[in-house]
Structure 1
């Protein structure tokens, strides 16, 4: 039977396990893929604790497969699905988990994988890079403007910095000292996170910032809000919408469609976006991959690589 890495109830790492599962069958609007790589994101462990994305409804069925973004090879398509056929290399958003040998993808949020793109790189795009892309385009800052990115050393932050730089923006990236070299290598001005970071950001951008892309939330979001005059240019993917709205800002509006996936894949192929896959793990070490992201120590992206399913 195929293997999958799951959580058996809401809670901590003790709820996780590698188990045998039935091979999924695609329903209407779904594509079944043999997974070659799965991206690891903070939202994965947050969902294990009971977090729900905005608009998400329904009760979770346990055991529940972890993971949200995958790249792989089409095995089967569901009713009414067009544009995909067995053998196609694709990447997209998992319907019910992606840390598995087989996964179902939503056809509308699945795109062909360019030949120049590795499975590992493609698996970083549906959540992290697409969130970064949506946010930068939502801000719609003109070339030459200054964008402040908090959490600039994580998966979404690394992508947001690069996408903003490709759009001609000056970027100030807030991240830990341990991620200074990474942030600066992306073309951003690094500002150390931690107490006093906002004052350091003011010194790094003496003419002010034109937009804020927050990936942390909480007190960091509240401090960041003070740095931008136009609160309509304050967005977050690190806090609930109501928290941002109280400050005059907004939550990142996710497009969640294949057009965005094709766009970010094009950025990678053109060399404007490096997914920065810094470490990979096999499926039987998925727990270690998730711990690295959950602890906040990951620099760039962590990916689970999966061999050909039998």
Structure 2
């Protein structure tokens, strides 16, 4: 049996529980991965809560988690480029979850882990770093222009600030005051979020900013949207209200190509995922709570095995 952490119905943290599941079998296009580490992301609790749509009976029980690193233990049909015992990282296959001893990974959304990159760091790349890379590159800013990142202290924001900085882009990040040291260590200028944030930004950027990468949504997005004139340069990771403001969602690539790029950045020392909190699988509830409550700094990882 495979130990996993998930839920049997949509709801709050009270529906979470440990599950004993059968060993999964890789279907065509999938890899069976013995999980070393699993990244923890806000989307995990949003899926559990039903915010992303209610789970059907056939999908339950469901395992939490959407990104992992580990070792290939089985290869499905129609998979090229991977073999058993390869060290990999990637996004879990539909119907699978990362908070587990074994999971299924979509081969086209996986890549080999460079030896210089730890399993813990690699597990954070498919969602956070890849989203950050897609967002920053789609904005197509020139060296010297200014990018505003809302929610700069979270996993995607930490990666986006570093990727933008490496391209010579000036970064302003909004986050809580308690995340100042983290945001400033990325080479970004922190502007405390909350009431009056737009005025505080205009004090240093009277003419506004060249682009906004929204990772916070809601009121945080509404408060700063007016700082960018060209609304094609306003993109969000998930707030549907961005369309009403003239912007659009980040267009996700979700392929091995992007994973290889961000892994190379980590291997070269240009990108630090800032894994700040590592918990064992039996503390999965606490790991997810840190992200759901919003107190996490940098990335939270569940270490399944070593």
Give the TM-score band, short-chain normalised. Answer: over 0.9
* Matched residue, 1:90: 88
Runs (4+) of structure 1 exceeding 3 A deviation are 56-60
* Matched residue, 1:248: 246
**Pairwise CA distance, 1:238:** 3.6
CA RMSD of aligned residues (A): 1.4
* Matched residue, 1:65: 63
Q: Distance in 2 between matches of 1:70 and 1:204?
A: 40
**Pairwise CA distance, 1:208:** 2.4
> Which secondary structure state, in structure 2, belongs to the residue aligned with residue 248 of structure 1?
coil
Residues 189 and 204 of structure 1 are in contact (CA less than 8 Å); yes or no, is this contact kept in structure 2?
no
What stretches of structure 1 of length at least 5 have no aligned partner?
Answer: none
Residues 191 and 201 of structure 1 are in contact (CA less than 8 Å); yes or no, is this contact kept in structure 2?
yes
220-229 or 72-81, which deviates more: 220-229
* Matched residue, 1:15: 15
Q: Distance in 1 between matches of 2:288 and 2:64?
A: 10
**Pairwise CA distance, 1:216:** 1.1
**Pairwise CA distance, 1:218:** 1.4
Q: Distance in 2 between matches of 1:57 and 1:250?
A: 27
Do the aligned partners of residues 159 and 59 (structure 1) sit closer, same or farther apart at CA in structure 2, a change above 3 Å counting? Answer: farther
**Pairwise CA distance, 1:266:** 0.8
**Pairwise CA distance, 1:202:** 1.2
Q: Distance in 2 between matches of 1:283 and 1:163?
A: 30
Q: Distance in 1 between matches of 2:149 and 2:57?
A: 34
> Which secondary structure state, in structure 1, belongs to the residue aligned with residue 243 of structure 2?
helix
* Matched residue, 1:129: 129
Residues 172 and 204 of structure 1 are in contact (CA less than 8 Å); yes or no, is this contact kept in structure 2?
no
* Matched residue, 1:265: 263
* Matched residue, 1:45: 45
Q: Aligned pair count? A: 304
Residues 197 and 224 of structure 2 are in contact (CA less than 8 Å); yes or no, is this contact kept in structure 1?
no
Residues 69 and 89 of structure 2 are in contact (CA less than 8 Å); yes or no, is this contact kept in structure 1?
yes
> Which secondary structure state, in structure 1, belongs to the residue aligned with residue 59 of structure 2?
coil
Q: Distance in 2 between matches of 1:116 and 1:219?
A: 40
1:126-170 Cα deviation digits (max 9, x unpaired): 001100000001101011100000000001111111111011100
* Matched residue, 2:77: 79
> Which secondary structure state, in structure 2, belongs to the residue aligned with residue 79 of structure 1?
coil
Do the aligned partners of residues 32 and 47 (structure 1) sit closer, same or farther apart at CA in structure 2, a change above 3 Å counting? Answer: same
**Pairwise CA distance, 1:107:** 0.4
Q: Distance in 2 between matches of 1:301 and 1:204?
A: 29
- What aligned pairs does 1:268-283 form with structure 2 within 5 A after superposition? 268-283=266-281
1:209-265 Cα deviation digits (max 9, x unpaired): 10000011112212221000101100001402xx21111100010001000000100
**Pairwise CA distance, 1:57:** 10
Q: Distance in 2 between matches of 1:102 and 1:132?
A: 27
**Pairwise CA distance, 1:270:** 1.3
- What aligned pairs does 1:179-198 form with structure 2 within 5 A after superposition? 179-198=179-198
Q: Residue 117 in 1 paired to residue 110 in 2?
A: no
